[in-house]
Chains A and B, each alone.
Chain A
Amino acid sequence: MSIRHGLLALLERGPRYGSQLRTEFESRTGSTWPLNVGQVYTTLNRLERDGMVAQGGQDEAGHALYAITEAGLAELRTWFEKPVDRTSPARDELAIKLAMAVGAPCVDIRDVIQSQRRHTVKAMQDYTRLKAQALVAVESGGARERDDVAWLLVLEQLIFQTEAEARWLDHCEARLIRLSTTMPPASPSASAPASGSASRSASPSAADPAPAPAPAAPNPITTTPASTSGGTR
């Protein structure tokens, strides 16, 4: 996350001192990524070393002010112009977890999906509640309007991101159900839910690629009564 460029962007509006930069950074982003003042000064020192900011006097209260340089402005413009790289994705714990849960003996992948879905949807509920507040703030205008708009954008980014995750989880589940109808059934399980009370059996998932000898064994996903269609929307 680019604190460096964030600070340059704030300095483009005029000289500022360290704790002021921290406050402005946080009100822009709704404290989504809290900074400590130490991080701000470390970053300012590096920017100064690289010739992108320069110390320029003090304000009335005696705070040391920093100003953006020409080199800093050029760097800022380049940052705005250049897309954020998405081609070398960061390691994603959830993707790794689901990849490992396919056929894992100790867990039913559907339980992993559901517990993540619960968490993700709850996060969306909380973001959406904050978003409703941000909308009210933006609509009522006022002095902080620019900060409120920025915060709204950040919140909506979080909502879109969690939404993508929730959709992906639905998709994983639907795909596993579809695959389970074409793959060999899971190892025979006497405890397969006959009339599936919530059908959250701890038996290995039907996507378990382990060859199973009994083709007539009920498939724990597909034999639950009311579930007729294959989970498509």
Chain B
Amino acid sequence: MSTQQPVLQLQNLTRVHGSGATEVHALRGIDLAVYPGELVAVMGPSGSGKSTLLTIAGGLDTPSSGRVIVEDTDITTATVKQLAALRRRSIGYVFQDYNLIPALTAAENVALPRELDGTSARKARVEALAALEEMGLGHLADRFPDEMSGGQQQRVAIARALVGDRRLVLADEPTGALDSETGESVLALLRSRCDAGAAGVLVTHEPRFAAWADRVVFLRDGAIVDQTVRSEADSLLSGQVAEA
């Protein structure tokens, strides 16, 4: 894994909100590299900087200092145009509240980033339908967001984040509003996308969902204080139980 080049690199990242008396150090020197095939979970209490980290990694916010490198592009120095292209092509972002466009159907929501990227409407629709199919939502392609349950909307949002083979998937509490069964299916999808070669960062405060990750990073007050890596080999359960 480590012989490959990371899909995402955060280098000595800081983010200060406000100034003077109201200054908040949301991130204080974050270093993180995420490799192809890897799913990293970021855990930490509310206010520890999880969302700030993710929005900066996704090019939705700018760091106060440090570098963000996605594939080969340093997005802190990229032009607006380069950044927009990168966000359409390489980065999939899943928001906690889905952020679907209400006036568009599921398929249209998913096809939109592809069309914006210059794909023909027909081809974009074919891709969108395939992505929805992968989420088990093929039959809901022509529904509008308000005709779907929360879990279904979130899966549409994930299809939108994954369509067109994005190499980096960033998800901020994607399971936050879902029941535990649906939350689990969302995680299984993220996991399988990473198993297929994408790099993923999942922000969550739910240990059950974080446990799907290869690596769990613990954030406290804007700094990474600890991390855990799951066993590589098929560890024998009896071995672990004996140790526990």
Contact = CB atoms under 8 A, between A and B. Distances in A.
A48 interface: no
A77 interface: no
A226 B52 CA distance: 12
Contact of B237 (A31, A197, A199): A31
B238 A31 contact: yes
A124 B222 contact: no
A126 B45 contact: no
Interface in B202-243: 205, 207-208, 210-214, 216, 218, 220-223, 225-231, 234-238, 240-241
Contacts of A163: 207-208, 211
Interface stretch (B21-29, B59-67, B105-113, B149-157): B21-29
A31 B231 CA distance: 18
B125 interface: no
Interface string A120-138: 1111111111101100000
B216 A125 contact: yes
Contact of A128 (B47, B205, B211, B223): B211
A105 B235 CA distance: 37
A125 B45 contact: no
Contacts of A227: 45, 47-48, 220-221
B24 A123 contact: no
Interface in B166-205: 188, 191, 205
A187 to B, nearest CB: 22
Interface residues of A, number: 46
Contacts of A30: 237
Interface residues of B, number: 41
Given A125-B211, A225-B24, A228-B47, A32 B221 contact: no
A118 interface: yes
B237 A121 contact: no
B5 interface: no
A123 B210 contact: no
Interface in A178-233: 195-200, 224-229, 231-233
B80 interface: no
B52 to A, nearest CB: 9
A174 B213 contact: no
B220 A198 contact: yes
B41 to A, nearest CB: 9
A166 interface: yes
A122 B228 contact: yes
A199 to B, nearest CB: 6
Contacts of B6: none
A33 interface: yes
A38 interface: no
A24 interface: no
B99 interface: no
B241 A124 contact: no
A153 to B, nearest CB: 14
Given A33-B241, A127-B211, 10 more contacts: A118-B218, A118-B227, A121-B43, A126-B231, A127-B237, A133-B234, A155-B237, A197-B28, A227-B221, A229-B47
15 contacts: A31-B238, A114-B225, A124-B207, A125-B210, A125-B231, A127-B211, A130-B237, A132-B188, A159-B211, A226-B24, A226-B26, A226-B28, A226-B49, A227-B47, A229-B45
